[in-house]
């Protein structure tokens, strides 16, 4: 039952507390620096809510309070043994288990024939443009991580996301070419017309 309480953001918090105790403001800063937002929806309000929930669940505890000048006092949290156990269990599940996911892009691909050639090609061009920009931005980040000599094991999640986006771009470019050239033809099939079954038809079917 406890594992259901550990959300992706909760897991990210415990991941940071593996390194050392810290306050939520430091957590938020490190999450931005490490691009945690590529895998977790990180917002200030949700982060503080998650920290409170982890504390109520016994996964983290207050270990210190800090005051920097006139700034408000900051509460420093550390991970408990229960939190470590839960973190390890959930981490093993996420790494080893296969989970069925439902990307929105798949639903878009499923309706291409119904949208028609012109509309589909225009929308795919929009997607390709956005993906190219994202891939270029990814590459800049990867180069900076390499220059900073950040150990690769600390950004495997980011590398996976970059490779996934690059694959989607290449796949979508090929799809656009195949649709535009006709290698993948649109069916242009009319929907079958529905006819009413008359009483005579129904009687005939019953006696045949």
> What percent of the chain has a predicted confidence (pLDDT) above 70?
86
Q: Which CATH class for the 8-96 domain?
A: mainly alpha
Nearest residue to 64 via CA among 74, 49, 51 = 74
Read off the pLDDT of each residue in 153-163 and give the average, rounded to a whole number: 89
Question: What is the Cα 195 distance to its own chain's centre?
Answer: 46
Hey, is 23 helix, strand or coil? coil
Instruction: Provide the residue ranges of all domains of the chain, joining segments of one domain with +.
Output: 8-96, 104-181
Is the separation of the CB atoms in 70 and 16 below 8 Å? no
Hey, is 78 helix, strand or coil? strand
Report d(CA 157, CA 162) in Å as an integer.
9
Q: Given a cut of 90, is residue 204 above it in pLDDT? A: no
> What pLDDT band is residue 197 in, cutting at 50, 70 and 90?
low
- pLDDT given for residue 202 in this prediction: 53
Query: pTM for the whole thing?
Result: 0.75
DSSP H or E stretch at residue 116:
none
- pLDDT given for residue 158 in this prediction: 87
How confident is the model over 86-116, as pLDDT tens digits? 999 999 999 999 988 899 999 999 999 999 9
- Residue 36 DSSP code: G
Report d(CA 148, CA 142) in Å as an integer.
10
Q: Given a cut of 50, is residue 34 above it in pLDDT? A: yes
Q: Given a cut of 80, is residue 66 above it in pLDDT? A: no
How confident is the model over 14-33, as pLDDT tens digits? 999 999 999 999 999 999 88
> What pLDDT band is residue 3 in, cutting at 50, 70 and 90?
very low
Query: Among 44-48, 50-54, 95-99, 121-125, where is mean pLDDT lowest?
Result: 44-48
DSSP codes of every residue in 127-177: HHHHHHHHHHHHHHHHHHHHHTT--GGGGHHHHHHHHHHHHHHHHHHHHHH
Which residue has better confidence, 122 or 156?
122
Read off the pLDDT of each residue in 158-183 and give the average, rounded to a whole number: 96
């Amino acid at each position: 039952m406890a594992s259901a309480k550990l959300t992706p953001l909760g897991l990210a918090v415990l991941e940071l507390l593996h390194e050392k105790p810290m306050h939520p403001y430091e957590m938020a800063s490190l999450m931005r620096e490490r691009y945690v937002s590529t895998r977790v929806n990180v917002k200030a309000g949700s982060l503080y809510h998650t920290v409170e929930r982890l504390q109520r669940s016994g996964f983290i505890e207050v270990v210190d309070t800090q005051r920097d000048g006139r700034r408000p006092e900051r509460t420093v949290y550390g991970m408990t043994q229960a939190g470590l156990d839960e973190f390890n269990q959930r981490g093993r599940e996420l790494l080893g288990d296969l989970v069925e996911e439902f990307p929105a892009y798949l639903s878009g691909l499923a309706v291409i024939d119904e949208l028609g050639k012109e509309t589909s090609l225009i929308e795919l061009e929009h997607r390709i443009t956005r993906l190219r920009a994202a891939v270029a931005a990814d590459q800049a980040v990867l180069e900076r991580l390499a220059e900073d000599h950040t150990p690769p094991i600390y950004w495997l999640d980011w590398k996976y996301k970059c490779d996934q986006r690059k694959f989607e771009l290449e796949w979508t470019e090929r799809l656009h070419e195949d649709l535009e050239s006709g290698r993948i033809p649109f069916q242009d099939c009319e929907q079958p017309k529905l006819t009413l079954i008359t009483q005579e038809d129904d009687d005939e079917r019953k006696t045949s």
